[in-house]
Amino acid sequence: MENFAQTPQLNMLELDAKARYRYFIQKIIAKREVWGLYHDGWAMSGTVGGKMALPLWPDAKYARLCNTRNWAKHQVQAMSLKTFVEELIPLLIEKQCMASVFLTPDWNSVLVEPERLLADIKSYVYACFQEEKNHLPEQVSASQAKQDLPAMASTSIQ
């Protein structure tokens, strides 16, 4: 098994919540997929406020780090960005669940309302096309995750 602790990309886990959230948005758009844990349904966690939350990751390697204990029987599974935006986010809204973005092995994540997550995804896609890029990125670095995203709705992510 690959030793993830020595993988350079895992320095993302050391970023603050706001930077991890930005990285998540950038990465899922670049790769056009979102990762979760699945076993007869998506893994869910609870919030301090008593709501249910769906843990989401920008890459399989980060999801694997949380594929332990109660979620050990779950499989790391990708869903297309299209499916995520068109089916799963509306379901989260309907069920009044939160998105638990970029959950770390020590149970830190960015809890965000699905409406806000959708708005941030749309804002970033729009910004990519407006900034003379006229295309979506294919890769994202840690330094990019630390930079503010133009037109991002989630300015209150801590």
**CATH superfamily, with its number, for domain 17-146:** Uncharacterised protein PF11572, DUF3234 (3.40.1350.90)
Confidence of residue 110 (pLDDT cuts 50, 70, 90): very high
pLDDT, the chain, mean: 83
Domain ranges of the chain: 17-146
- H helix runs in the chain, sequence order: 17-31, 60-65, 81-83, 89-95, 114-130, 142-146
pTM above 0.95, yes or no: no
Predicted pLDDT of residue 6:
40
Residue 73 CA neighbour count, 13 Å, CB half: 4
Distance between CA atoms of 54 and 141, rounded to whole angstroms?
25
pLDDT at residue 89, as a whole number: 98
Per-residue pLDDT of 31-53, as tens digits, reads 999 999 999 999 999 988 899 99
Average pLDDT rounded to a whole number, residues 120-138: 75
pLDDT bin (cut points 50, 70, 90) of residue 153 is: very low
| 77 contacts: CB under 8 Å, gap ≥ 6 | 35, 36, 37, 38
